[in-house]
Amino acid sequence: MNNAQMQITAVPLKRKNRRLSTIPGMHWLLFIIPALYMLLLTFIPIIKIMKLGVHDGVNYTFEYLVQVFNTPVYLKVIINTFKISFIATLAALLLGYPVAYLLYKMQSDKWRNITMSLIMIPFWISVLIRTFTWMVMLQNEGVINKVLMGLGLIDQPLQLLYTSTGNIVGMVHYLFPYMVLCIYSVMKGIDSRLLQAAEGMGARPWKAFRDVVFPLSMPGVIAGVLICFVFSLGFFITGVLLGGPKDKMISNLIANFINVTLNWHLAAALSIILLGATILLIAVPFLIFRKHPSLKGVI
Amino acid sequence: MGLRLLVIFILFVFLLPIILIIPLSFTSVAYFQIPPPGYSLVWYEKVLQDPVWIQVFSRSLFIGAITAIVSLVVGTMAAVAFTRLNFWGKNIFLPLMLSPMVVPTVVVAIGLYHFFSPFKLADTYTGMVLSNSVIAIPIVFTLVIASLKGVDRNLELAAMGLGSTPIGAFFKITVPLMKTGLFSGALFAFSLVFDEPIISLFMSGANTKTLPIKYWESLRTSIDPSIAVVSTVLIIMTVALFLIQGWIGSNAAKRNVRQE
């Protein structure tokens, strides 16, 4: 017994010494390599570009930020981006919530998986392709106009493509799966016996939903709204292809400064605004709701 | 019942445009009419005979594959470090690894474009792989962390107790147990990079034009049913990848249940 034990420990020790992994501190490479990789390829480039927005090559200056806020055209793009993002997020919430709620109420695993796949298939398909499909759908002779005219709701085809509506439709299509996943992941944790208890004690389904599930699903709604809003602020593709001339987003303006007018400083100043809004939107609610008991495990 | 109908309607509206593109690619005319006045394979022929589409397609496959491998290695290292090690600055490590998910892609893209220009990395394969890996790593990182949480740490400790080195134990015990997570991480990274437009828009040039860039240019300049053909091919590819991933996932789940 003793002998056998000795053998087991003795053999590996001999082998171990030859291995690279016995060099002390070797396992820290697991942490150091990815950290350096991201530091070098994300953190430093972003800091350097931010610096261009507040540094004119000689001194630190607020000139570019002031210029962005003092030029009506740029200011309009910023306000418009926030406005469109807000509408798109709200629409995604209104469409995503019922879907998440049905997923929660579904009894059969098979149907839940099928519904989930139907939600996730568009999620996997490139945003460019989805935007193109909406270009076809929304055009004057497109499916939407044909259906509306067929139903007799309109006489003239509606101008949908190259308008804010088109842009928002494209954005909502992108945001929808994220919204459903955020809300559903929180709803999944709500004990379904609560709903049964409420209904058993005489609450109608609507009242049971309003008084039990809805308040408990709020953390998911907040997370979904924030994530979708932050994604919307950075949208690039849909504004150009589906939106009109007025639907330029901050991202498009940044790209325009870099590729067309070659004004790196203004592009950087706009990036500061965009990134600043993003960080505020993520950090502030995080700090407020961090201690909230229902968020345990979500963040 | 009303809820069910509403949800069916919502999902229908979101799937319809994607499904309608498929018959459009078989159209015989040069414009988009639904349903098409006639069916033919002219546009498929046109795309297959266009050297540019073929070139950008294979280039995207190549860049996507290399980036997926790089991201898988770096993302897995980070995930293992995050779940298995305790170190100073762990609170900063997480946001650092996840930041490209939240930072608007345009900001990442121009940052890298600016950062790479002194090294002449713009319009090179190295530059494309490095810059695209930045957005793929967070995905791999989160997926691998999720699958590492399902692996019993004691199995690895047992292997080390029986004489395996930590690296040996990791590759012999942990990797086989979480290979579904690794696979879906790589697959996700690949599909993300394969059709990533924004980073490539800045980073690619004449030598490294990828499929999404060619697609984007065609959308902006000359829309014809070739686009529908390319979209159909990509939609079928994506759905196939999705099904493969789901199939492997459910197989793994079944195997786990049986073993228990």
Q: What is the pLDDT of residues A84-100, one digit of tens each?
A: 999 999 999 999 999 99
Q: Do A49 and B197 touch (CB under 8 A)?
A: no
| Cβ-based neighbour number of residue A291 at 10 Å | 8
pLDDT at position A299 is 44
> What pLDDT sits at residue B27?
87
- Residue A298: its pLDDT value, please? 47
Residues of chain B with pLDDT under 70: 256-260
Could B111 and A49 be called an inter-chain contact, meaning their C-beta atoms sit closer than 8 Å? yes
pLDDT of residue B12: 94
Q: Is A98 on the interface with B (CB under 8 A)?
A: yes
Write down the architecture of domain B57-234 according to CATH: Orthogonal Bundle (1.10)
pLDDT digit string, tens, across residues B153-176: 888 888 888 888 878 888 888 888
pLDDT at residue A14 is higher than 50: no
Give me the CATH number covering residue A227: 1.10.3720.10
Q: Which DSSP state fits A60? A: B
In the predicted structure, residue A255 carries a pLDDT above the cut 50: yes
Q: Where are the alpha helices (DSSP H) in chain A?
A: 2-18, 29-38, 44-54, 63-70, 72-105, 109-124, 127-138, 143-150, 164-187, 192-200, 205-208, 214-216, 218-233, 237-241, 250-259, 264-289
pLDDT value at A120 more than 70? yes
Give A-chain residues touching B100 at CB under 8 angstroms: 38, 42
The DSSP line for B1-42 is -HHHHHHHHHHHHHHHHHHHHHHHTTBSSSS--SS-SSB-SH
- Gap between the Cα atoms of B101 and A177, Å rounded: 16
pLDDT-based confidence at A179, cuts 50/70/90? Answer: very high
With respect to residue A265, please indicate whether it lies within any of the assigned structural domains.
Answer: yes
With cut-offs at 50, 70 and 90, classify the pLDDT of residue A23: low
**Binary contact (B165, A274; C-beta < 8 A):** no
In a domain, A144, yes or no: no
**Residues paired with B27 in a beta bridge:** B39
Does A17 score more than 50 pLDDT? no
Distances (CA, A) of A282 to A41, A83, A147, B143: 22, 18, 40, 21
For residue A15, pLDDT over 70 is answered with no
Task: Please report the pLDDT score of residue B181 as a whole number.
Answer: 86
Average pLDDT score, chain A: 86
* Predicted confidence (pLDDT) at residue A144 exceeds the cutoff of 60: yes
Q: From the candidates B4, B14, B242, which should be mutated to test the interface with A, based on the most A CB atoms within 10 A?
A: B14
Query: Per the domain annotation, does A101 fall within a domain?
Result: yes
Residues in A closer than 8 angstroms to B87, CB to CB, are 28, 31
> pLDDT value at position A13?
44
> Are the beta carbons of A33 and B77 separated by less than 8 Å?
yes
From A22, A122, A240, residue closest to B18, measured CB to CB: A122
CA separation for the pair B148, B155 (Å, rounded): 12
A34 → closest Cβ in B78, B168, B220: B78
Q: Do residues A249 and A235 touch, judged by C-beta distance below 8 A?
A: yes
pLDDT of residue B164: 81
* Record: contact B18-A35, CB cut-off 8 A: no
Q: Does A93 fall in a domain?
A: yes
CB contacts, 8 Å: A236 with chain B: 105-106, 197-198
**pLDDT tens digit sequence for B51-89:** 999 999 999 999 999 999 999 999 999 998 888 888 777
How much is the pLDDT for A7? 47
Instruction: State the average pLDDT over residues A171-191.
Output: 93
A87: in domain: yes
Residues of A in contact with B3 (CB under 8 A): 98, 101-102, 105
Domain residue limits, chain B: 57-234
Range of the domain at A110: 61-125+162-190+217-295
Residue that wins the pLDDT comparison between A245 and B58: B58
Is A169 domain-assigned? yes
Contacts of B20 in chain A (CB under 8 A): 133, 136-137, 143
In this complex, is the C-beta atom of A130 within 8 Å of any C-beta atom belonging to chain B? yes
What number of residues does chain B have?
260
Q: pTM for this structure?
A: 0.87
CB pairs under 8 A between A and B: 242
Q: What is the pLDDT of residue A289?
A: 72
- Residue B37 with chain A: CB contacts under 8 Å: none
**How many domains, in total, are found in chain A?**
1
In contact, A258 and B202? CB cutoff 8 Å: yes
Residue A95: its pLDDT value, please? 96
Interface membership of A147 toward B (CB under 8 Å): no
User: Residue A11 — pLDDT band, cuts 50, 70, 90?
Assistant: very low
